[in-house]
Structure 1
Amino acid sequence: MNTPPADPAAARIGGLTPFSSCDWPGKLCAVVFLAGCPWRCGYCHNPHLLRRQNGETRWPDILHWLQSRTGLLDGVVFSGGEPLQEPALPALLEQTRALGFATGLHTGGAYPQRLRRVLPLLDWVGLDIKTDFGAYPALTGLPRSGEQTETSLHCLLQNNSNFECRSSIHPHWHNEIQLAALARRLAALGVADYHWQQLRPPPSFALPPAPADWPAPQLIEEIAPLFQHFSYREH
């Protein structure tokens, strides 16, 4: 028995950023945040999106607003939370593309089979690589989470998808030896577009920001040649 498609009007929308120039590199986009995530990473900067609950905005309102943005935005990125947890995501992508927008996705890779199904509806994917795949359970609180992300990465590589990998890093959770090993592993797998971005811990951790000289410039110079595109983003 086939499961009926999820109603896009019932999607759990956690929020909307009307304009962003950094969530999809090189594109001016809107960002739709979908609520719900199976993982419980202690440093999550969107803890209000962990539960599948609605915010103040509903999808029909966003769709109506997007109609007025045609020609002004390049695309729409679906983020979270973990947007692949939303059953209505395929319908949201279809309706967005029907308006003429390119579609992007931010994902941690928790649902590789769902990712595979929506790839034909996506123009770009940003895949978060939190740490070495074997160390994921200690971060996410769930077994096999690293295996899920690795499978998602292979899915993107096998389908020649337009994607980047990025790791949010902080010296409290990552040391430079681990970062170098992770970068080399990703390069060996065939990742061409990889970026480190500064992780800003939530106030509950009361941690200072990363030092100005971390990661070391020498490490960045060592890692950069492994990829076609590499950077350390401090925003």
Structure 2
Amino acid sequence: MIPIGDNIFLFAHKKPYITYVLIGISIGLFLWELKLELGNGLGNELGYTINHLGLIPAGITNAIAAAISGNSAAWVAVIMSSTGIFTGMFLHSSFAQILGNLLFLWVFGNTLEKIIGHCQFLLIYLTGGILTGLLQVLVEPNLTVPLIGGNGAIASILGAYIFKFPKVKIDSVLPLLVVFIPVQIPAFYYLFWWFIQQFFYGIGSLNIPPSGANQFSIAYWMHGIGLLFGAGYMRICKKR
């Protein structure tokens, strides 16, 4: 199921600039990843980059343990390793992952940003991504495989959208072999479809040595918490 757009035309004159910027950054960095992968044909440059800019839970927990044990210099390592929680949000490990994430960001983020404004939209996106990153570290602190992608941040946007417009029909395309059937799907349906499509994000994976990225572990599925964060944030705003 491929979402195309919705039928909400409120604030049509507004431009979702933050959505444009986030999509542009993600595409630009993915093209850079492709260049690194093709640099020597082995993906070594790409592997080095992902392992330094991605989120590696074990790197953070080991640095924290060393710092707590009395090694004051280790606090620098804590800061450096923790930056992956932020930088990892803008990197992707496969064609399927970036296409799926940016499609969801465009369809659901486009309208949501126009309704709640640029600042709140960016706040939900970044906070959702950072929150899910922290949870990934807490849930699987010994994981040595880098976790990358904006899944958690985009899940937050999806959760906020569905809370705001649960009954809105999403224009979608149902691919059946070589036939594409246009259909309209209630927005809340994509709450479930988001989890299903995570299984397909390995399609077109980049060569990221030594151990790849985004291992399907308990930590990886912490992205789903972003849905609850987005919905919870909108509920708080509604009460206010």
Determine if the TM-score, normalized by the shorter chain, exceeds 0.5.
no
Greater fraction of residues in helix: 2
Please, what TM-score do these two structures have when normalized by structure 1? 0.29
Greater fraction of residues in strand: 1
Which has the bigger relative contact order, CA under 8 A and spacing at least 6? 2
Please, what TM-score do these two structures have when normalized by structure 2? 0.28
